A and B are shown apart, each in its own frame.
Chain A
Amino acid sequence: MIRTIFTVFSKEVLDNFRDRRTLASALLMGPLFGPLLFAFVINLSIERSLSDVEKTLELPVLGVEYAPTLIDYLKSRNLKIIEAPEDREAAVASVKSGLHDVVIIIPGGYGEQMANGIPAKVELVSDRANTAADRDARRVRNVLYAYNQELAAIRLSARGVSPLVLRPLNIDDIDVSTASGRSGILLGMMSYFFIFAMLMGGMYLAIDTTAGERERGSLEPLLALPVTRDRLILGKIIATCLFMALSLMLSLISFFFALKFIPLQELGMTPNFGPKVVVAAFFLLAPFILLGASVMTLVASFTKSYKEAQTWLSVVLLAPTLPILIVSLLTLRPRLEFMFVPSLSQHLLLINMVKNEPVNVLHVVISVTSTLLLGGLLTWLCARLYRREGLLG
């Protein structure tokens, strides 16, 4: 029994190690694609968040001539005043159409109101529905508030009143999120990369078990041998698992190195992803290997050809994202019942570790056993289906 399974297993390993396509997808595609895309996305967002403060913002102002002091103040705050549309209507229209993100309108009465000590009207036109534009509008708004505060303080001082009168509250904002905690949000997508790499690693082997063997014409000779089909499929699924494990291991390692080159500290993040976490993550994700292998083998066994199997398996590649996506969108905290859902439980526990939060042992036990049980059940189903005559196509 063991010998037959081992024979099939070692043949599959040898066969696939010689197959460039399988090797590329298992050892290159998954492990490299994830970290590269991740590094790209992170670097992009770092660039954005940094540039926002430092970059000179172009600000169209209508009625520059009415408020020279205000304009000087704006200029001193790294805002570059540019020519605005000719009138108020055109200014509003230009923001609406997205030509400008934010426009300041200074009405003609500004100077008079200012001189008389009446609140002087300044209009700020922006589109709050446009999140990217809103960031710039917020920056301009804050500059205006600051100018407001400064003027008020000067006026009070001129009347011999302490500017502190304006600050009855001293608000101190204390952020309890740790640097590791903030990483969790962005690093949440990491867990999917691992699952993706894992599935990619075993995809071609899973297809080969049924559709591939059939298309090549080697299935019938194989089935005509004095070997029970259970052993054949077990050997094949174990080989699939090996490639998936290899792919997972490589992508964990490549992530470990990739994170060293991503300046996450600049985003105020220090992900907890040292060698210990890498090893722990491997064992946390490992139960998903059997499940992934059996699901892919199962799906491929219903297809008529290699091409069709590839099409269906690309759908399977996306399936594990679904629970992760839903939970991420609703920003749900890890709960006991989530641990029964494969891919989701691994995702939540991995985030836990990366955020350097205490990991609930019961959650880990449930995640591991439920995923393994489901994988075992599906493997058994694969073996059952491998016995049917329809397999010959």
Chain B
Amino acid sequence: MIRVDGIHKSFGSVRAVRGISFEAPDGRVTGLLGPNGAGKSTTLRILYTVMKPDAGSASIDGHDVVKSSLDARRCTGTLPHGAGLYPHLTARENIAYFASLCGIERGNIEERVENIVDLLEIKDFADRRTKGFSQGQRTKVALARALVHDPQNVILDEPSNGLDVMATRSLRELILKLKDAGRCVLFSSHVMQEVAALCDDIVIIADGRVAIDDTAEGIREQTGCDDLEDAFVAAIHRVSPE
């Protein structure tokens, strides 16, 4: 379970995140929704500990992302935006490298990799070098790599970017599988339909602040819009009226 409590982050004079708070509970899919530049990626980067918040705090399964970042990372699988693979290694080697770095016993690595290869249905190209993979294949391998240590929490930054219909579909199935297994899934997107189709809870972010944090149903009620897209626009206008 992921908890974010009033985090702030500035880059020079740009205030990317100004006081974001929300919770992503286990067994649910939480969507971070917002226009480009709203602060979604920065929030997620703080969560997967490659950045530190200027103020506020965040924790994953009770581990503070600043004070015990190693523990926080240990129980999190991360797919950063535009995640790349090592082109000279095969898909399997890419996954095994991360498995080893996650501290999985050497004897168990092969089995783990095999399981995740089955789960993500990447067997067909698992033994090919990843140079020249399609965006869909790359995303699948990157996901497998992120999930190989069986993390309780999964953070995905715009995972459906550049995926075709079939790949998006299998990604959606995977996210639902993780949810059913009781995992906490947090993912960001700027596509309303995608979030609406998948998420139990939606956190709409605009201008570095939380505009609304509710279920899809709740958001419709709060904004008085039947259409989610209208609701999205209405919510954003609450924070940045221009």
Do A and B actually bind?
yes
Interface residues of A (CB under 8 A from B): 3-4, 7-8, 11, 14-16, 18-19, 216-218, 220-228, 389, 392
List which B75-131 residues lie within 8 A (CB) of chain A. Answer: 76, 78-89, 93, 97-98, 100-103, 129
Residues of A within 8 A of B129 (CB): 18
CB distance from B97 to the nearest CB of A (A): 5
- Shortest C-beta distance, B109 to chain A (Å), equals 10
Cβ of A11: which chain B residues have Cβ within 8 Å of it? Answer: 86, 89, 97
User: Contact partner of A14 among B89, B100, B145, CB < 8 A?
Assistant: B89
Number of B interface residues at 8 Å Cβ cutoff, please give it.
Answer: 35
B9, chain A: closest CB distance, angstroms: 10
Any A CB within 8 A of the CB of B232: no
A19 with B88, Cβ < 8 A, contacts A226-B73, A226-B74 known: yes
Which chain B positions have C-beta within 8 A of A224? 48-50, 73, 76, 78, 80
One of A14, A222, A228 near B70 (C-beta < 8 A): A228
Q: Do residues A7 and B78 form an inter-chain contact, with CB atoms below 8 A?
A: no
Where the two chains meet, the residues of B that have a C-beta atom closer than 8 Å to any C-beta of A are 45, 48-52, 70-71, 73-74, 76, 78-89, 93, 97-98, 100-103, 129, 142, 145-146, 149
Interface centre among B83, B102, B149 (most CB of A within 10 A): B83
**Complex formed: what's the CA distance from A227 to B45 in Å?**
16
In the bound assembly, the distance between CA atoms of A224 and B74 in angstroms comes to: 9
Distance to closest chain A CB from B159 (angstroms): 13
A19 and B86 CA atoms in complex are apart in Å by 11
Contacts of A14 in B (CB 8 A): 88-89, 93
Q: Are A389 and B98 in contact (CB under 8 A)?
A: no
Query: Closest A-chain residue to B9, C-beta based?
Result: A389
Within the assembled complex, what's the spacing in Å between the Cα atoms of A7 and B103? 10
Q: What would be 6 A-B contacts, judged by CB atoms less than 8 Å apart?
A: A11-B89, A15-B89, A216-B85, A218-B83, A220-B45, A220-B83
Specify which chain A residues have a CB less than 8 angstroms from the CB of B89 in the assembled complex.
Answer: 11, 14-15, 18
Residues on B with beta carbons closer than 8 Å to the beta carbon of A218: 83-86
A216 x B84 contact (CB < 8 A): yes
Residues of chain B contacted by A389 (CB below 8 angstroms): 50-52
Inside 8 A of A217's CB, which chain B residues have their CB? 80, 82-84
Are A7 and B84 within 8 A (Cβ)?
A: no
Q: Which of A7, A15, A226, A228 contacts B86, CB < 8 Å?
A: A15
Task: Give the distance to chain B from A11, nearest Cβ to Cβ, in Å.
Answer: 5
Say yes or no: A221 contacts B146, CB within 8 Å. yes
